[in-house]
């Protein structure tokens, strides 16, 4: 499939999430993509934890984004897929990258200096909660069912279990960092809704364009603040950065846009819950982290919400909230 500026242009002012919401029956392949996305993104936080000790956050995000963009552009070149050159397309790519990666990952990467990777995985996986609230109260581009509401509440209860129990020890740098991660997830939720505007583009083109912008916009601050030529990253940090660029950023972002087009906003966001057991397992395996009791409680609660948020809407028409149409 070729993506050209003429055949895939999407006007930001005329295209709405409602117009692009995934429709039609879903099959096992769609959910397989969702699981694959969860696997790609669950490795983000453990890998970042390995890289951050010797690579500062701004440089780390810029480098991994540029590695991911180079990887995807190479594949696009081999596929002979043309990348749009019009300003409108790149404005969409830039906006999506800012709210889906650059801003939230800067916040999360900073927070990871104070928060264990397993906790970060759980906190950053609360995106479905905020996506549900935004969809239900503001955009209303997808049906808000009682079962999805239950799923969101269960996920929120898991978050409260993690943040609330930590807060009993007093507000400190860890609590501030954990709250910052939650704020970043709101940006992720907005990005999943805005990302529906890009459904007419080849997912690989969107991922490549977004990552290129994200890497380039952070390059000047990296050169000025971090002065990368003075750094001495470990071999482990370099490998983690490359793997994260290709697996988490390149493949993960491409799968993300594929899932948005096939499954819609709320179901795509539910992969955040699927990331939890995978991410926690990787944190324990790669970093030797233990799972505290409050994290285990939150894990049980948020996992209970994943089924509720991924049940196909056509099976739940009778449970649609009053005043909402199961469109």
Report residue 108 CA to chain centroid gap: 12
Q: What is the pLDDT of residue 171?
A: 41
The answer to whether 103 touches 186, Cβ cutoff 8 Å, is: no
pLDDT at residue 10 in the model: 37
Which residues in the chain land under pLDDT 70?
1-26, 117-118, 121, 141-144, 159-160, 162-173, 289-295, 306-307, 309-327
Q: How many helices (H) and strands (E) does the chain have?
A: 16, 0
Average pLDDT, the chain: 77
Helical spans, DSSP H, in 168-251: 173-194, 203-221, 235-243
Q: Report the C-alpha gap between 31 and 263 in whole angstroms.
A: 8
Distance (Å, whole) CA 125 – CA 117: 12
């Amino acid at each position: 499939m070729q993506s050209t500026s003429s055949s895939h242009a999407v006007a930001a002012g005329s295209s709405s999430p409602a117009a692009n919401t995934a429709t039609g029956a879903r099959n096992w392949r769609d959910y397989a993509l969702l699981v694959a996305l969860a696997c790609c993104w669950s490795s983000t936080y453990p890998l970042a934890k390995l890289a951050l000790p010797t690579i500062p956050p701004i440089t780390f995000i810029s480098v991994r984004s540029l590695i991911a963009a180079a990887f995807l552009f190479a594949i696009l070149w081999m596929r002979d897929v043309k990348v749009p050159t019009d300003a409108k397309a790149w404005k969409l790519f830039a906006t999506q990258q800012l709210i889906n990666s650059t801003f939230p990952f800067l916040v999360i990467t900073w927070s990871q200096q104070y928060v264990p990777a397993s906790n970060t995985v759980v906190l950053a996986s609360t995106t479905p909660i905020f996506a549900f609230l935004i969809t239900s109260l503001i955009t209303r581009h997808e049906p808000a069912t009682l079962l999805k509401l239950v799923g969101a509440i269960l996920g929120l209860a898991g978050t409260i279990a993690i943040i609330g129990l930590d807060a009993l020890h007093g507000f400190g740098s860890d609590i501030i960092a954990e709250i910052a991660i939650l704020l970043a997830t709101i940006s992720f939720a907005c990005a999943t809704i805005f990302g529906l505007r890009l459904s007419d583009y080849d997912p690989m083109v969107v991922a490549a364009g977004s990552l290129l912008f994200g890497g380039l916009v952070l390059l000047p601050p990296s050169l000025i603040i971090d002065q990368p030529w003075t750094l001495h990253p470990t071999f482990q940090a370099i490998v983690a950065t490359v793997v994260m660029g290709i697996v988490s950023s390149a493949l993960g972002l491409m799968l993300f846009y594929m899932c948005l087009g096939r499954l819609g906003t709320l179901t795509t966001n539910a992969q955040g819950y699927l990331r939890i057991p995978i991410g926690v397992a990787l944190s324990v395996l790669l970093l030797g982290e233990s799972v505290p009791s409050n994290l285990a409680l939150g894990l049980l609660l948020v996992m209970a919400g994943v089924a509720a948020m991924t049940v196909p809407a056509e099976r739940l028409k009778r449970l649609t909230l009053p005043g909402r149409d199961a469109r």
